[in-house]
């Protein structure tokens, strides 16, 4: 059986990307409001502000082998023999139009415009995976406008969770257990729902945090349908394993802790990440993941909290750690910071 070619993640400026001249790029996420064009390479344009006066940041995924691009509906993708990167942007107006064109098929009755946009996005993502023979979602990033705002009597993040779960079920996919690592963050009010994702021909391993209730088992106090993601996933490669840590925050069990204290929330978030690293090292025999091996994105609700959050992360991760700081609303209104991470570790004697 073939194993995926080495996956690689780089955070670079647009100028550094152009200078690098990489030939093995799978896809790009561009943060801030600067548009990015990259020939036929899919680019997810994410409207979240890069903090501390930094320029726009590109999140570049590479695969160490030739890749080809394509489109399926609204999904722009690029794939190698084993891996696929894809992205889709759906305005809520487009979601409503798709509902009318489908005659309601696949859409919930009296659904919100966000529900319709989410349903459309996930149906097209699942169809892309099926047609391209990369059925296993590894990691998904979701950015939705006004994530904490209430509409039609329910928070928009909870609307999103309901729509995502309904769409996964309709497409014959799991919504508990064997589900990808994921994040869901707020984005600019006037923007589309943006989703980008990594998928593989090879199924990952799924990792849960012993300090937390699995998100897909949350009680109904967090909404009528639970979030459909694992706390982390592990992708076995030829001589290494790649760890994708979902958006992680100051939650123990299923309760948010340290309300109003960004420093304490950051430290609790790091406790959760350390617990996931221990589980990942246990699951992937021979792996040696550590805090110092992580490349992170930190989402900060209130820019004024950035110095405290950055100091706590620098102390734990090391002053030379790779962290991109973005301003974004978090999925719960009482959470001030969320951290996601990616890491690689050699196995079987490989560095």
Coil, helix or strand at residue 222: helix
For residue 90, the cross-strand partners are: 193
Domain contains 324: yes
pLDDT value of residue 347: 72
Tokens of 253: 């069990």
Domain contains 149: yes
Domain contains 138: yes
pTM of the model: 0.94
pLDDT value of residue 349: 43
Coil, helix or strand at residue 296: strand
Phi, psi of 78 (to 5 degrees): -145, 135
pLDDT per residue, tens digit, the chain (351 aa), is 334 458 999 999 999 999 999 999 999 999 986 667 777 999 999 999 999 888 889 999 999 888 999 999 999 999 999 999 999 999 998 655 655 555 555 555 557 999 999 999 999 999 999 999 999 999 999 999 999 999 999 999 999 999 999 999 999 999 999 999 999 999 989 899 999 999 999 999 999 999 999 999 999 999 999 999 999 999 998 788 999 999 999 999 999 999 999 999 999 999 999 999 999 999 998 899 999 999 999 999 999 999 999 999 999 999 888 999 999 999 999 999 999 999 999 875 444
pLDDT value of residue 346: 81
Domain contains 257: yes
Q: How many domains does the chain have?
A: 1
pLDDT value of residue 38: 75
Of 334, 210, 228, 329, give the one whose Cα is nearest residue 272.
210
Handedness of CA 158, 140, 272, 206 (dihedral sign): positive
Quickly tell me which residue has 């609307």 as its tokens: 159
pLDDT value of residue 174: 96
Domain contains 1: no
Angle between helices 113-132 and 92-102 (to 10 degrees): 70
Coil, helix or strand at residue 277: helix
pLDDT value of residue 3: 40
Domain contains 84: yes
Residue span of the structural domain in which 41 resides = 8-346
Coil, helix or strand at residue 26: strand
Tokens of 289: 């993941």
Q: Is 285 exposed, middle or buried (0-12, 13-18, 19+ CB in 10 A)?
A: exposed
Q: Which residues contact 151 (CB under 8 A, 6 or more apart)?
A: 112, 114, 159
The length of the chain is 351
H helical segments located in the chain: 14-20, 92-102, 113-132, 156-170, 262-283, 306-317
Angle between helices 306-317 and 262-283 (to 10 degrees): 30
Domain CATH for 208:
3.30.1330.40
Tokens of 244: 């994708």
Can you tell me the distance from the alpha carbon of 304 to that of 48, in angstroms, rounded to the nearest whole number? 16
Phi, psi of 17 (to 5 degrees): -65, -45
pLDDT value of residue 237: 81
> CA dist 140 to 51, 55, 134, 289, Å?
23, 24, 14, 21
Domain contains 312: yes
Catalytic annotation, residues: 338
pLDDT value of residue 95: 52
Quickly tell me which residue has 């590479």 as its tokens: 62
pLDDT value of residue 93: 86
> CA dist 84 to 62, 226, 237, 306, Å?
10, 27, 14, 34
H helical segments located in 146-221: 156-170
Coil, helix or strand at residue 340: strand
Domain contains 351: no
């Amino acid at each position: 059986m073939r194993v995926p070619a080495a996956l690689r993640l780089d955070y670079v400026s647009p100028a550094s990307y152009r200078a690098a001249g990489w030939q093995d790029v799978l896809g790009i996420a561009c943060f801030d409001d600067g548009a990015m064009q990259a020939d036929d390479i899919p680019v997810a344009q994410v409207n979240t502000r890069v903090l501390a006066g930094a320029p726009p940041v590109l999140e570049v995924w590479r695969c160490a082998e030739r890749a080809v691009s394509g489109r399926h509906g609204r999904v722009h993708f690029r794939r190698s023999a084993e891996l696929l990167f894809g992205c889709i942007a759906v305005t809520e107006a487009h979601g409503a139009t798709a509902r009318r064109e489908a005659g309601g098929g696949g859409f919930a009755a009296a659904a919100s415009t966000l529900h319709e946009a989410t349903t459309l996005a996930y149906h097209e993502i699942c169809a892309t995976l099926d047609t391209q023979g990369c059925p296993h979602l590894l990691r998904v990033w979701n950015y939705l406008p006004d994530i904490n705002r209430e509409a039609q009597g329910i928070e928009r993040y909870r609307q999103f969770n309901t729509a995502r779960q309904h769409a996964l079920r309709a497409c014959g996919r799991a919504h508990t257990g064997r589900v990808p690592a994921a994040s869901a963050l707020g984005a600019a009010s006037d923007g589309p729902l943006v989703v980008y994702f990594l998928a593989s021909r090879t199924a990952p391993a799924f990792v849960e945090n012993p300090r937390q209730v699995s998100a897909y088992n949350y009680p109904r106090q967090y909404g009528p349908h639970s979030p459909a993601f694992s706390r982390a996933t592990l992708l076995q490669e030829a001589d290494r394993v790649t760890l994708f840590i979902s958006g992680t925050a100051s939650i123990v069990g299923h309760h948010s802790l340290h309300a109003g204290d960004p420093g304490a929330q950051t430290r609790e978030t790091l406790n959760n990440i350390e617990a996931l690293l221990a589980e990942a090292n246990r699951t992937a025999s021979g792996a040696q993941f550590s805090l110092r091996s992580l490349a992170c994105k930190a989402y900060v609700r209130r820019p004024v909290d950035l110095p405290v959050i950055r100091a706590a992360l620098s102390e734990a991760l090391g002053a030379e750690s790779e962290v991109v700081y973005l301003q974004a609303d978090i999925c719960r209104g009482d959470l001030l910071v969320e951290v996601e991470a990616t890491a690689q570790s050699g196995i079987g004697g490989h560095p």
